[in-house]
Amino acid sequence: MNSDAWEILAEPFTAGEVQWRVEALSKDKRRAMVVPYIDARNVLDRLDEAVGPEGWQDSYEVLAAQEGSFAVRCRLSVLGVSKEDVGEGDSLKAAFSDAL
């Protein structure tokens, strides 16, 4: 991977691109664990900017699908280097985004 692409991919996302969601609640619902995340579209835009649309590809495999609980594996390849991860969600869309 060329150094320009690596620098673009390594740039932090702006505060406006970082969103927050409640990951878990305490039993009494008075405390919550909140986690940061970025929208999958921001990831796709960053990949396009860094290596162009032809420089990367992704593929997905649904691992589990039950009403309200989904698991998806994503394989992301950038300039010939591939990595995989699994995402979970209460919808297929959420699981696909989480996997990416």
d(C-alpha 29, C-alpha 39), whole Å: 26
CB-count exposure of residue 74 (10 Å: 0-12, 13-18, 19+): buried
| Cα torsion 30, 66, 100, 38: sign | negative
Determine the residue type at 44.
L
Q: Which helix (H) or strand (E) holds 80?
A: none
Q: What is the pLDDT of residues 24-49, one digit of tens each?
A: 999 999 999 999 999 999 999 999 99
Counts for the chain of helices (H) and strands (E), in that order: 3, 5
Say yes or no to pLDDT of 73 above 70.
yes
Mean pLDDT of 54-82: 95
pTM of the full predicted structure?
Answer: 0.82
